[in-house]
Chain A
């Protein structure tokens, strides 16, 4: 139950009789009157166990986009229910106005819509609908939390999709569709066509030319149907906050851009999110289903404060790949974690596959390394410089082992990773 401001006002009105006839009798009599009125009002309020509440499912939404949650309140009782309801969402679901005035006459139903603007990625939950049914006098109310669980899946925002058109244009340049044809190691024979001025004479197919009257050249297209496996590291190093978001979110952004690009290029893309165990996976998704499947798999992921178990990761990767593939490790160039975890088992990957390591770097570190204001800043600069040098050394070591390394700040990593993929594809190294 709950009382309203009106009942407090009624109690205050008791000043009048008490002024006219001061004494304990009047005071307690009035208080009793108020209690009886409140009790009567609660008795006359619409019954809450007669309410049937159902929640409509909500489609997934990208982070930053508004959505709405609707619940249907059906009154099966004999009295109307009027009062206030609150749709109980987690704070990060960003309910715009969670309280609503509601009147449901007997036997009717009403739809209550709460606007949501989620603040964080992942599954945002609702526990139920709190209903307060006010009595006819407006003095008091029945109140109950009616359990109607709800779930809103908030997908990664994929902010780097703005880079996709330019990368696709570059992909088309590689592809045989424009006049410029690139021939390289690993490209595939596409077709024969007449020679036009400007074609590389080395592309002339003499055998075909001999058969025909004109000079004929071969055209090529980049290799297709290669396998790309994106490994998302969800261990402690991904929990690090860079700017306003965890390293993991920037890595997801890069993974999405790469997956979108690779899928359009005709490659098969799989995703594996791992730390000590496989947290999420997307395997064998068709070209059209790939991105939705990936964002859906990534949405509920959060970085765990555990050390990545690279032995498990490498084993998981190897068990999923039979042919040569591009393995993209989205992790952090953390000297301790890489040297102790990844380097010992890296050979098992590089022997069969092309490994590309992408790391989100921290702009704060570069700013720290440039500090010269006072002695504190110089010590900080020395500390940051040491980390940067360790990172440089690690990068060089990885490259020596045949691993491609891409680093970048959160907003630069996705396009850089896409560029590196295109460069590998152009070079026919996939």
Chain B
């Protein structure tokens, strides 16, 4: 063969067929991905909503936390105190405490405070407000009051001589009640606490116990509801809370950390477990070893499979297509496509493809297209860029389709009864624009 489609020897030998191993790619992963796409998206959406919701909702904190806006939190009272010039410091660990003169330390749960911290607090100069301490805490703090049972919450009048309680008036009482400890011999009467909000008139106990000692005020509060957001606006709760907590410019709100209660290391699992348990991994390990030997033993040798060499038939053509692409061989590609189309059209019109101008004229006549347009498509110059090449290929197809009424491909099947087909004689048209 000669003309524009003469084999480029470099292109042909370079892409000679190479041995190719058959690869079966059922792409099960891709199918599984497709199947789980919709449920996966739904699950992701639900997860996103949950995470966002958790991030956007106010963090629920502990009971009586001065930063908690929950009904059982105490942010309201803390805010009011701050608004009235009291600095509220939240201490979540004992190390954060700095008791001293001019400081009120509020302990939200004295039972959780380590003993030495309680003793430190007792020895300090700070005013103390203890919420519902038990007998042990009271003893450590050396307070002459004693728990006197717990009753349900109710509104109670002060019924005492304490000026602050008197000013607050009726508050939410109940909760833990306290009574004076039996005074030891020689104690001064001034050491006795003032008890307010008793269980009933003349009961001798009270929800609030206040003791003044050495210029300090030690307060025991038995009803936490007084400080809670939920009840702060009721009765005289707010007044009492502010008076109890706001006596000093600085309020240290101490929320004890239960973790501090046990400073010594917990016993390890090894110390807790019975001795025989430690031997079980050894037994299990030996068993696993035997399972490996059991499952790992193959029943007889494998039989080798001699695989035949199989080359994909179109591999050479694919390789040459890649070479064309890398070299941007638009001129060559266009020339090939034009030559092939001209040959098919020549066969169709029973004309010679060696006179392409005449053929183009006949094509133009048959399709009703202008002659220059047909000539530009079939005989024109090489396309300038890849897009032009694609357009050219489609335009050639369109012309052929107009001529034949059917797509140009595939070629017509052979007639088995004709021994030879004279119309397939090699035609070598000269294509303008193909210099090589």
Contacts and interface: CB of A to CB of B under 8 A. Distances in A.
A86 interface: yes
Given A2-B297, A369-B409, A379-B325, A8 B305 contact: no
A34 B12 CA distance: 69
B300 to A, nearest CB: 2
Contacts of A303: 308-309
B389 A383 contact: no
Contact of B416 (A30, A126, A419): A419
Contacts of B20: 241
A145 B333 CA distance: 61
B278 interface: yes
Contacts of B304: 90
A250 to B, nearest CB: 11
B22 interface: yes
Interface string A292-323: 00000000001101000000000000000000
B303 A383 contact: no
B264 interface: no
Contacts of B279: 18-19, 22-23, 26-27
B414 A416 contact: yes
Contacts of B389: 375, 378
Interface stretch (B120-128, B179-187, B246-254, B419-427): B419-427
Interface stretch (B88-96, B163-171, B229-237, B334-342): B334-342
Which of A368, A378, A407 has most B Cβ within 10 Å? A378
A162 to B, nearest CB: 17
Contacts, number: 229
B1 A384 contact: no
B317 A88 contact: no
Contacts of B5: 386, 389-390
B318 A239 contact: no
Contacts of B287: 8-9, 11-12, 14
B410 interface: yes
Interface in A383-430: 383-390, 392-393, 395-397, 399-400, 404, 406-408, 412, 416, 419-420, 423-424, 427, 429
Interface in A58-101: 84, 86, 88-92, 99
Contact of A130 (B7, B300, B333): B300
A336 B291 CA distance: 60
A118 to B, nearest CB: 12
B309 A382 contact: no
B416 A416 contact: yes
Interface string B147-184: 00000000000000000000000000000000000000
A383 B305 contact: no
A126 to B, nearest CB: 7
Interface stretch (A151-159, A202-210, A256-264, A359-367): A359-367
Chain B: interface residue count, which band?
35 or more
Contact of A378 (B280, B286, B314, B333): B333
A240 B425 CA distance: 28
A226 interface: no
A406 to B, nearest CB: 8
B117 interface: no
Interface in A128-166: 128-130, 132, 143, 145
B305 A90 contact: yes
Nearest to A127: B303
B317 A368 contact: yes
B417 A5 contact: no
A247 B313 CA distance: 8
B396 to A, nearest CB: 9
B98 to A, nearest CB: 54
B307 to A, nearest CB: 9
A147 to B, nearest CB: 10
A241 B310 contact: yes
A125 interface: yes
A277 interface: no
Contact of A381 (B7, B282, B315, B337): B337
A131 B12 CA distance: 55
Given A335-B7, A388-B340, A404-B419, A370 B410 contact: yes
A18 B276 contact: yes
B324 A379 contact: yes
A192 to B, nearest CB: 30
Interface in B334-357: 334, 336-337, 339-340, 343
B261 interface: no
A393 B426 contact: yes
Given A7-B294, A22-B275, A372 B390 contact: yes
Contacts of A386: 5, 320, 336
B58 to A, nearest CB: 52
A239 B312 CA distance: 8
Interface string B249-291: 0000000000000000000000000011011101110111011
Nearest to A2: B297
B142 interface: no
Nearest to B387: A375
A404 B407 CA distance: 28
B300 A88 contact: yes
Nearest to A132: B299
B337 A382 contact: yes
Contacts of A392: 343, 424, 426
A15 interface: yes
B426 A145 contact: no
Given A130-B300, A380-B318, A389 B293 contact: no
Given A145-B301, A302-B308, A303-B309, A423 B417 contact: yes
A236 interface: yes
B293 A3 contact: yes
B311 interface: yes
21 contacts: A5-B294, A12-B283, A15-B284, A18-B280, A86-B299, A128-B300, A130-B300, A241-B312, A242-B313, A246-B310, A303-B308, A364-B314, A365-B313, A365-B314, A370-B409, A375-B325, A388-B411, A389-B1, A392-B424, A416-B414, A424-B419
The 6 A-B residue pairs whose C-beta atoms are closest, nearest first, are A130-B300, A419-B416, A382-B333, A240-B313, A8-B290, A370-B409
Given A3-B297, A239-B310, A416-B416, 9 more contacts: A11-B287, A30-B283, A90-B305, A99-B299, A384-B317, A385-B340, A389-B340, A419-B416, A419-B417
